[in-house]
């Protein structure tokens, strides 16, 4: 007895699903892998310049873990964090999630481990493979004069 066309289609679909899941597991591209989430919480009424790679940013921030535990904040220190955007001075999730911001803008960033501290974490405060949430406030943009 020969298999029907319908049966062959079901078998092919099963094989394709199996191969898809197998390659995702083997090559680390799991379906559960998360992406950077960017939520805009406050927009200023005017925005003469937006942040771009190479800008010196002055940011206030509060970072929390999935369970709500705060692991760091610039606010109690009273001084914003200053760094050059896109230069690797901060985690990848920040370099990506802070592009195109205006002074006075506030965002919520939910950063997967791959764009944060990865499998190693940052002991003792940030565990392995932690998803991080940051509430950020762009205080000031300093841009070098373009030639």
Domain-located, residue 94: yes
How confident is the model at residue 117, as a pLDDT?
A: 98
How confident is the model at residue 22, as a pLDDT?
A: 47
Catalytic one of 95, 111, 126, 134: 134
- Determine whether 117 is an active site residue: yes
Q: Is the pLDDT of residue 126 over 90?
A: yes
Grade residue 19 by pLDDT with cuts at 50, 70 and 90: very low
Instruction: Examine the domain organization and report whether 106 and 135 are in the same domain.
Output: yes
Instruction: Examine the domain organization and report whether 16 and 75 are in the same domain.
Output: no
Instruction: Examine the domain organization and report whether 129 and 58 are in the same domain.
Output: yes
Q: What is the pLDDT of residues 69-81, one digit of tens each?
A: 999 999 999 999 9
- Determine whether 119 is an active site residue: no
Catalytic one of 38, 61, 111, 137: 61
Instruction: Examine the domain organization and report whether 99 and 60 are in the same domain.
Output: yes
Number of domains forming the structure of the chain: 2
- Determine whether 71 is an active site residue: yes
Domain-located, residue 108: yes
Domain-located, residue 147: no
- Determine whether 66 is an active site residue: no
Provide the domain limits for residue 50.
37-142
- 3-state SS, 4-32, equals CHHHHHHHHHHHHHHHHHHHHHHCCCCCC
CATH of the domain at 125: 3.10.50.40
CA neighbours closer than 13 Å in the CB half-sphere of residue 2: 2
Q: Return the biggest CA–CA distance within the chain.
A: 79
- Determine whether 83 is an active site residue: no
pTM of the model: 0.76
- Determine whether 134 is an active site residue: yes
Cβ-based neighbours of 140, under 8 Å, separated by 6 or more? 57, 58, 80, 103
């Amino acid at each position: 007895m020969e298999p029907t066309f319908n049966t062959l289609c079901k078998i092919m679909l099963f094989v394709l699903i199996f191969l898809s899941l197998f390659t995702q597991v083997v090559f680390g591209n799991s379906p559960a892998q998360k992406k950077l989430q960017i939520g805009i919480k406050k927009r200023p009424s005017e925005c003469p310049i937006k942040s771009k790679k190479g800008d010196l940013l002055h940011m206030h921030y509060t970072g929390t873990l999935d369970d709500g535990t705060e692991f760091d904040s610039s606010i109690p220190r009273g001084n914003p964090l200053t760094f050059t955007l896109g230069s690797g001075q901060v985690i990848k999730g920040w370099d990506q999630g802070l592009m195109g911001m205006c002074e006075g803008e506030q965002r919520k960033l939910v950063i997967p481990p791959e764009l944060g501290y990865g499998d190693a974490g940052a002991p003792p405060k940030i565990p392995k493979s932690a998803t991080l949430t940051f509430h950020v406030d762009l205080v000031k943009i300093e841009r070098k004069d373009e030639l």
